[in-house]
Structure 1
């Protein structure tokens, strides 16, 4: 025991000593980062040639090597291998391999590619595709069998997979039916032009002309309205007509259905079923009352995972429990085990007087600190009570985390405001770690006020423990007065803020939302005017006090505008109050059903997490069990005059 304690203290001492060195050379690290950004090769070369005992010294060398890899000059193979040997199993070594592999793929060095790829730990979608290309180019024809077996699930894969797909199709290993299904899925996407490549792999006699495809894509309504009388005599003619219906349905399902009715009798049974599934899918997203009818008319036609999920949601929206059961049982086996469908199948069985079967399903997910875990617990009669248990962490665990090279690099990167690099290092360092190390790492992040890493790291531990780390309440002295002034629920505010920013004050989204409450510039300006905030300008969004004032004021304003309902207001905070209002039904709707049938993936996930967070925070702040069902309540009907 004494030996272990001395070892732990030695690790802490080493960490502190190295950390002191880490701050000395910060200027060199920052200068190297700027040289990389501006393309200042000479400065980067000079700084990389220097050696200082800084925890981020490998980054300077890595930046130099990535700069070389991006230029059309001979590869420094010895230097690349030397870096990989000096930084084994590091996040930088993984990234350098990825950069090197992309360079070799551009130069079609497939033999070298396969050698380096063998040491890659976590290849992304592009590199997995490039590896298939490398195998094919190296004469490994077994890759064709592998891709053919997974043809449909790879339909939306990275563009780097196209050479293998093309080879497979042109060699006749993929038939026209499979090619048409792939093209259909691509047409019903945000990048429909990708279907052009798939169609080009067909035999000329089977495929539409490029000119016809482009005309249909440019104006699908016009294409349908001008269909020749004999359009249905060829499959290409029918497929282009269906593609036009799909493109129209994505924008206006009623218009698509009206046009479909005019040509329905010219299509085959499977083709009509496909269009009915498409109408059901987009009808569900657009809140059309015909969605259930269309999905049922589709029968057992093959559907995408997204279509299958929306078939369940369409039945949920009308609360047809037999329909819900049938739709869930029609999901793929792996999909049926997801918490949302486990819960709703339980609800469907309970509604059909099958309580024992329902309880068995609820028991599978009850107790998890998640939206459906909490709801399932309530169906079993258990209101949510936050566990007070903390996981076991020893002095040695703390010392291991403090001395871990990856975590030390991450802390240094955060200190230098390189948050993206810091997050990568942190996450890489947690791979395969034991519970004690994870808890210690979470506490290390908390000590350094890196709240998002504290929360995310704690979430990797026992789901019934460490709630003090998973559901932090920082900035309370700043938040609590605003919550009281606005008349808001503290648990809901914390639940929303946890989802928005993970309590990172300088957080900034890709859309421009800023700060603890992720306030958009336009929203901040509007709220400042509404509350009479004198002298407001956009730069004030980065100030935590102003950000919380504007964020909580906005929460109050949209709550008042949306029936004082936190589910609607949460949806409105994320997607805008107008959308939250339109997503209601013409009749009262259970709050959980409203949340599950929100048509935006991001907002649907957001609302469920915010509401679950709110229940957990309430249980912790009030020290008593809480009901998520009560918070979700009932959503009032949409007014007739509303769009």
Structure 2
């Protein structure tokens, strides 16, 4: 009898009492619902005390989430599980999303048990084994006398620029005993450690560097780590790759002090910093863009010195932005012509290429651009006084296919998980379910999620499969009454508020950011509390922000405050909603007279620039959907397009 089967049976008399109490019928003789029974059984399964033989448990056998009970029960006893247990579960529940995790954890147990034959069988089925698992794999290979493979794997793992798991120690002892820890490999770990800002580990690896040349390289790299300007004094005793790595170690240290320190070092390195190396292109981009985002006019010359051959297109884009900021229109136009063709053909640079003075093809470029559904396409249409083009394509629904999809176990489990507000687990179900689907099947499945009210998943699915023209899936119209009611109170456009929520949370009420922002309009608890006080609304706890109506009440109030503070300019207010009013004030300082499209273009936070452009564009889309078409910019905002009005 397998462990899984044994776990189905009664475990002990005390357990029977516990289970009996846990599944006690509701008062007044009411029958406890399957969902309530599941929640009680789940608590027992998570401590390994789920009794499969109880009458109440048998009632759950056809409940959609029953496999989760068995998974939790088996997970608790995984240290005693056998191959038969895992196979039995997989056979019972094929395509269950946690099956892969169960198999992974079981393989880890086999490694701890040193059951190498079974381990090798399971290891080949794993996706992305971690370092610990790879070390077990190396030991399994060695047990089969596959010494060369063991050494090669151990060399790869040992060279990492960070500490290795304790489970790898036996493998590394084999590496040394087989003379696989060479001076070259040790040098590589020294450099990897320094590149990872781990000076202590580089000292440990240095002990294994034996050859004189390797010692010179290691010493030079460690010296440059301590004093980055030593990268300027490297002699000719190094290979091209060695010199480049030491230079980048110095750059990394300089950058940690200040982007300007790194910029100075790069300019002084000059031609010695080989731009035929893609890793070096990455560094001039990283340093140059970071400096450009300080929005200082005097930096334009330094950035030109940094990249005189326009090797970095991203840096060239930021040099264009600085030229726009300084209103050096001819210089901006010259820089645009330096962009690679693929970048030059993007809507962003087609717009600026057309709008800058001196372009005889302005009208035709804007007319062509106005056909596109993008911020710059909508802006071009706005300038020309033409309606925005939505390019919507209705989804090719297949009612028979949808009914088939709705009858599958994954869909039924997702439906029940949503009832329990378990969206993270539901997303795992979605990923597993749709992995082998055709595009048409995934498209229909995405609309089924929308029908269940899980709008966020429909939006994410559309993005994943590039279903850009399905506006109904990408821009669902929900919570409309609340957006209208509470926006009206603050005298702001409800479509704008709706667009903010669409950008902030993809209309997911339970959204929570890493910073702690919550709900549809992603309010920070402190901001919500302050806003509630300002409008005399009751604020008891942060979790109320997950309630759609309450979130919209406070979100529209805060948005209205930003709208008022920035004198009715939605671009400025939108930026403030995302990045904070203090930052927007700093970006407006000495730049209030810039054309509005230029001001948006030079927002130094990539996230905020995209945010503003998306929100304004989403408002256009929602207005068309609701039969109330509006231009990208209001009449007052459009007055700020000084270049466009020439």
TM-score, normalization by structure 2: 0.69
Of 529, 545, 550, 1:541 maps to 545
Residue 552 of structure 1 and its aligned partner are, at CA, apart by 0.6
| 1:314 counterpart = 2:319 | yes
Q: Secondary structure of the residue that 1:326 maps to in structure 2?
A: coil
Distance 2:185 2:378 in 1: 46
Provide the secondary structure at the position in 1 that maps to 2:563: helix
Where do 1:83-94 residues align within 5 Å? 83-94=89-100
The answer to whether 1:205 aligns with 2:213 is no
Determine helix, strand or coil for the equivalent of 1:484.
Answer: helix
Deviation readout 1:194-240 (Å, 9 max, x if unpaired): 988998997333224999789x4xxxxxx67xx89997679899988
Kindly state the Cα deviation for residue 318 of structure 1 after the two structures are TM-superposed: 1.9
SS at match of 1:41: coil
How far is the alpha carbon of 1:78 from its aligned partner?
1.5
Provide the C-alpha distance between the structure 2 equivalents of 1:510 and 1:144, rounded to a whole number of angstroms.
41
Distance in 1 (alpha carbons) for counterparts of 2:314 and 2:147:
37
**Cα deviations by residue, 1:6-65 (Å, 9 ceiling, x for unpaired):** xxxxxxxxxxxxxxxxx94323432354456xx623348989996611111111222233
In structure 2, the CA distance between the partners of 1:96 and 1:296, relative to structure 1 (3 Å rule), is farther
**1:615 equivalent in structure 2:** 620
What is the alpha-carbon distance in structure 1 between the residues aligned to residue 190 and residue 358 of structure 2? 45
C-alpha separation in 1, matches of 2:113 and 2:374:
48
Q: Distance in 2 between matches of 1:97 and 1:352?
A: 64
2:49 is aligned to 42
Worse-matched range after superposition: 369-378 or 276-285: 369-378
* Structure 1 Cα separation of the partners of residues 392 and 310 of structure 2: 47
CA 57–312 in structure 1, closer or farther in 2 if over 3 Å, else same: same
Match of 1:82 in 2: 88
Which residue of structure 2 lines up, in the alignment, with residue 58 of structure 1? 67
CA distance in 2, matches of 1:605, 1:403: 40
8 Å contact from structure 1 (residues 385, 625) kept in 2: no
**1:96 equivalent among 96, 102, 106:** 102
CA displacement, residues 485-541 of structure 1 (integer Å, 9 cap, x when unaligned):
212122221111012223333333332222221211110112123223356554543
Higher RCO (CA < 8 A, seq sep 6+): 1
What's the secondary structure of 1:504's corresponding residue? coil
Residue of 496, 500, 504 corresponding to 1:492 = 496
Contact 2:353 2:359 in 1 (8 A): yes
**1:396 deviation in Å?**
0.6
1:615 Cα deviation after fit: 1.9
Flag the 1:374–1:270 CA change in 2: closer, same or farther, 3 A.
Answer: farther
Larger C-alpha radius of gyration, 1 or 2?
2
Find the residue that maps to 1:390 and give its secondary structure: coil
Question: How big is each residue's C-alpha offset from its partner over 1:405-439, in whole Å with a ceiling of 9 and x where there is no partner?
Answer: 21111111111121210122123323353465445
TM-superposed CA distance for 1:565, in Å, is 2.8
Q: CA deviation at 1:186?
A: 4.3
The answer to whether the 8 Å contact 2:95/2:432 transfers is: no
Match of 2:437 among 415, 418, 433: 433
In 2, distance between residues paired with 1:229 and 1:393?
A: 62
The residue aligned with 2:422 is 418
In structure 1, stretches of 5+ residues that fail to align are: 1-22, 217-222, 330-335, 638-643
CA contact (8 A) 1:232 1:238 kept: no
Q: Is the 8 A contact 1:397 1:437 kept in 2?
A: yes
Offset, 1:478: 1.5
**Contact 1:445/1:451 (CA < 8 Å) preserved in 2?**
yes
What is the CA distance between 1:114 and its match in structure 2?
A: 5.9
| 1:280 pairs with one of 284, 288, 292 | 288
User: What is the distance in 2 between the residues matched to 1:327 and 1:398?
Assistant: 46
Structure 1 residue 157 displacement after superposition? 12
Gaps of at least 5 residues in structure 2 are 1-31, 325-331
8 Å Cα contact 2:597/2:641 also seen in 1: no
CA contact (8 A) 1:279 1:295 kept: no
What is the rounded CA distance, in whole Å, between the counterparts of 1:380 and 1:159 in structure 2? Answer: 61
What's the counterpart of residue 31 of structure 1? Answer: 40
Distance 1:393 1:301 in 2: 52
**Retained in 1: the 8 A contact 2:487–2:556?**
yes
Contact 2:511 2:520 in 1 (8 A): yes
8 Å CA contact 2:439–2:465 kept in 1: the answer is yes
Q: Which residue of structure 2 aligns with residue 10 of structure 1? A: none
The alignment status of 1:527 with 2:531, answered yes or no, reads yes
Q: What TM-score does the superposition give when structure 1 sets the normalisation length?
A: 0.69
Cα distance 1:543–1:416, how it changes in 2: closer, same or farther (>3 A)? Answer: closer
- C-alpha separation in 2, matches of 1:416 and 1:382: 47
Which string of whole-angstrom CA distances, capped at 9 and with x for unpartnered residues, describes residues 324-364 of structure 1? 443546xxxxxx57xx973345346656978889989998x
Could you tell me whether the CA contact under 8 Å between 1:322 and 1:348 is conserved in 2? no
Q: Is the 8 A contact 2:370 2:380 kept in 1?
A: yes
Structure 1, 83-92 or 93-102: larger mean CA deviation: 93-102
Question: How much is the aligned-residue C-alpha RMSD, in angstroms?
Answer: 5.6
Aligned with 1:206: secondary structure?
helix
**Is the Cα–Cα contact under 8 Å of residues 559 and 566 in structure 1 kept in the other structure?**
yes
Q: CA deviation at 1:403?
A: 0.9
Structure 1 residues 400 and 96: alpha-carbon distance in aligned structure 2, compared to 1, 3 A threshold = same
Give the 3 Å change call, closer, same or farther, for CA 430–298 of structure 1 in structure 2. same
**Which of 443, 450, 453 matches 1:449?**
453
Quote how far apart the aligned CAs of 1:555 are. Answer: 0.7
Decide whether the 8 Å contact of 2:310 with 2:316 is kept in 1. no
Q: Number of aligned pairs?
A: 573
In structure 2, distance between residues paired with 1:382 and 1:106:
68
Q: What corresponds to 2:584 in structure 1?
A: 580
